[in-house]
Structure 1
Amino acid sequence: MTALEHALKELKDDVILMWIMVEAQLEAAYKAMLEYDQNLAREVMQKEKRINAYELKIDEQCEDILARYQPVAVDLRFLLAVLKINANLERTADIADGIARYVMDAPAAFDHGLLQSTHLLDMYTESLTMLSDTRRAFEREDTALARSIFQRDEIIDKYNIEALDIVTAHLQQSSPFIRQELLVLSIIRKLERVGDQAKNLAEEIIFYVEAKVLKHHSPKEL
């Protein structure tokens, strides 16, 4: 193994670890929401600093490899993709932090019926699965799995629109749970952004494996 190959392998391992950390943050925020566990929500918020530090570490690794080895072709595409993947993962961790803050703001446990009727639980499960599937696609360089994310993001978008209609109807009926419903809607909007980040991750995987840029393409072109 050459020095460049060793450096790239180390970088990939670190990105996968970052990915797992972000997944854990999103899962912990989910558990905090379901169980109204504000201590766990606080823990998610505290661990955000660790994610930020890891993001800087990976950026520095990329810069070092670029300066030392001046990689070309697939190795250069990999580095460029990792820089964007790293940023997307950090944004996803920010979303987990935001959800944890909504749990801290909630005056009482979330009504399970409301979580179900707004599809928040389905949306959260799908978001977690999309994030873990993009990691597997990155590990295996599996562009077919990466491409499956695009259609699933459309499902997330559909849930988001339906939830807005449901909460709006509740508010028009003078619901006694206005604060909770607004918090649920805010969490749903955060999850819609997780879907967007997963789609961005998938695009970067396809870019470095196939040398195809998919930004601004319609779903039929993907």
Structure 2
Amino acid sequence: MDNASYQREIINHAGLDMLNLSLSQLEKAKEAFLTHDSDLAEEVINTENRVNALDIKIEKDCEKFIALYNPVAIDLRFIMAIRKINFDLERIADHAYGISRYVVDVDKSIPKHLIKAVEFEKMYETISSMFDNIIEAFENKNVKTARKVFKKDKIVDVINVNSFNIIEEEIKKDNTIIAEALILFSVVKKLERVGDLIKNVAEEIIFYIDAEVVKHKRKK
């Protein structure tokens, strides 16, 4: 293996590490939110430094690869995609951090009937499945698997759109839950954004493997 290929593999492994770390952060943030576990939330908050360090490492490694090896064709697409994927994954971890901050900063657990009403579990399970898709797609260079996230993201979008009216109705029934309802609404919005970011990652994987720009086609 030549030096360029070796460095490419290092970057590839770091990208996979970032995928798994971001997923882990999101899983722990969700669990901390549902169980109001401040210790687990603190773990997510403290791990943010590790996320940031890996983000910086990947960015520097990509810059070094471009400077040293003047990549073309698939290698250039790989580096371009990794940089964008890394950016999106760091933002997903930011949303996990934000969810965990609610648990630590606000001493209010969310009523279970509210969580059920907005289909929170279904929303998270869909996002978790999307994450599994992009990890498999990234590891195995599988475009077909990457494309699966687009349909699933529509499920997340519908839950997000419906959540406003559902929460509004729940507040009308009981105005003592306003604070908790607003926190839940904010977390639902964060998860919807996570779905969008996962979709971005899928688009970059497809671009890297097949040289196909999906984003503009989908907008049309």
Same fold (TM over 0.5): yes
Correspondence for 1:60: 60
Q: State the TM-score, normalized to the length of structure 1.
A: 0.95
Correspondence for 1:162: 162
Q: Which runs of 4+ in 1 moved over 3 A?
A: none
Aligned residues: 220
In 1, Cα distance between equivalents of 2:111 and 2:173: 17
1:1-222 aligned at under 5 Å gives the runs 1-218=1-218
Q: How far does the alpha carbon of each residue in 1:73-121 deviate from its partner, in whole angstroms, 9 at most, with x for none?
A: 1011000000000000000000000110122233332222211111111
CA contact (8 A) 1:11 1:61 kept: yes
The amino acid across from 1:71 in the alignment is P
Q: Structure 2, unaligned stretches of length 5 or more?
A: none
CA contact (8 A) 1:33 1:100 kept: yes
Q: How far does the alpha carbon of each residue in 1:39-89 deviate from its partner, in whole angstroms, 9 at most, with x for none?
A: 111111111111011100000000111111111110110000000000000
Instruction: Give the 3-state SS of the residue equivalent to 2:108 in structure 1.
Output: coil
CA contact (8 A) 1:106 1:183 kept: no
The amino acid across from 1:4 in the alignment is A
Q: Percent identity?
A: 38
CA contact (8 A) 1:33 1:103 kept: yes
The amino acid across from 2:101 in the alignment is R
In 1, Cα distance between equivalents of 2:9 and 2:74: 14
CA contact (8 A) 2:167 2:185 kept: yes
Q: Structure 1, unaligned stretches of length 5 or more?
A: none
In 2, Cα distance between equivalents of 1:172 and 1:108: 19
Q: State the TM-score, normalized to the length of structure 2.
A: 0.96
In 2, Cα distance between equivalents of 1:216 and 1:117: 35
Shift of 1:129: 1.9
CA contact (8 A) 1:106 1:180 kept: no
The amino acid across from 1:204 in the alignment is E
**Please, what is the CA RMSD of the aligned residues?**
1.3
CA contact (8 A) 2:133 2:148 kept: no
In 2, Cα distance between equivalents of 1:137 and 1:86: 15
Instruction: Give the 3-state SS of the residue equivalent to 1:71 in structure 2.
Output: coil
The amino acid across from 2:148 in the alignment is S
